[in-house]
Amino acid sequence: MNGPALRATVIVGESDVHHGRPVYAELVHRAHAAGLAGASAFRGIEGYGAGSTIHTSRLLSLSEDMPVAVVVVDEEEKVRAFLPQLEDLIGEEGVVVLDACEVVRFGADGRTTGAS
């Protein structure tokens, strides 16, 4: 895909689970099953959420519940259609941020592919 898109960034805790599986992994696999263009999970090094507890990876205060951002990108209609699947996964603690973006893909020759 090239052109306008919607990015959904889902913030969850690393230790959040859904039926025994990490929520971030479940999100990536559900996005894949839904046929979305792409999804990746990124582990944070420090952060806090609704509970206002700061989680950090610094050695002296090592946390096992680091923030994880799952980023999903596709056409707006596809991402919005995927949102209902998030409700049972992230509950009241998770956060979803939606923002418009543009996807640019490069061909083997270094030029952008698709229509301009």
Which residue from 92, 69, 78 is spatially nearest to 31, judged by alpha carbons? 78
Provide the CATH number for the domain formed by 3-103 in this structure: 3.30.70.120
Task: Tell me how crowded residue 24 is: count the other CB atoms within 10 A of its CB.
Answer: 26
In the chain, what are the domain boundaries?
3-103
DSSP secondary structure of 63-111: -S--EEEEEEEE-HHHHHHHTHHHHHHHTTT-EEEEEEEEE--B-TTSS
Instruction: Give the Cβ contact number of residue 28 at 10 Å.
Output: 20
pLDDT of the chain along its 116 residues, tens only? Answer: 789 999 999 998 888 899 999 999 999 999 999 999 999 999 887 766 666 666 665 555 555 677 899 999 999 999 999 999 998 888 777 789 999 999 998 875 556 555 54
pTM, full prediction? 0.81
